[in-house]
Amino acid sequence: MIVEVIPVGPLQVNCIILGCPATHKAVVIDAGNDAPRIVECLRKRDLVPELILNTHGHFDHVGGNAALKDLFPVPLMIHRDDVQLSQQASQHAAVYGLSVSDSPLPDKELLGGEFLRFGEEQLAVLHTPGHSPGGVCFYREGLLVSGDTLFAGSIGRTDLPGGNHQQLLQSIREKLAVLPPQTRVLPGHGPLSLIAHELQHNPYLSD
């Protein structure tokens, strides 16, 4: 698997690009902003997007969807419970003095449990609500894109509208903590990690 992590936008969201080495088809996850940087990375790695995905609908993760979809008219997908949130991105960004575009409507609403194919690779969609109602993670053997569900040493905040602390902990324990220990964790912000490391050192999981 080809893996690129590009911090984008003023909140330094980790935009994740995953590529199939056999076909050079790719997915772009959380195109939060800085579409030209994302496109430059795709071109350097000779990758062609097949899907644009979002782990959730907060403005810092969806703000680049419109620009990227203008360049690559491929399916955009987000969980159905966060579609409305993604449509209010500009309004929510303005609260922080920032400016982003609202996300286009998705071509497909995710439910959790799906398998998304790109080239010869596929990702499982894990619905992990708590940070937001429609938060999801994307998983394939050895690799987890965790969005703002799980961070290195922490978890997503739950004080925003739609957040639920107990629900987030339940999502992590039932969906993520059971993954193989050597699974790499690519979070929505900050450094990468491993499931084993988080189980041992993350104060929200180590009990």
Residue pair 128/172 in contact (Cβ under 8 Å)? The answer is yes
The answer to whether position 207 is within a domain reads no
Q: In the numeric block, which tokens belong to residue 65?
A: 């969807």
The answer to whether position 128 is within a domain reads yes
Distance CA 30, CA 147 (A): 8
Three-state secondary structure call for residue 68: helix
Query: pTM to 2 decimals?
Result: 0.96
Distance CA 138, CA 28 (A): 12
Tell me the residue range of the domain where 71 lies. 2-201
pLDDT at 87 over 70: yes
The answer to whether position 65 is within a domain reads yes
Write down the pLDDT at residue 206: 72
Residue 38: name the closest of 18, 20, 23 by CA: 18
The answer to whether position 206 is within a domain reads no
* Number of structural domains in the chain: 1
pLDDT at 205 over 90: no
* Average confidence score pLDDT of the chain: 96
The answer to whether position 184 is within a domain reads yes
The answer to whether position 45 is within a domain reads yes
Q: What is the mean pLDDT of residues 41-60?
A: 97
Distance CA 4, CA 178 (A): 25
Q: What is the mean pLDDT of residues 165-170?
A: 96
CATH code of the domain covering residue 138 = 3.60.15.10
Q: How many helices (H) and strands (E) does the chain have?
A: 7, 14
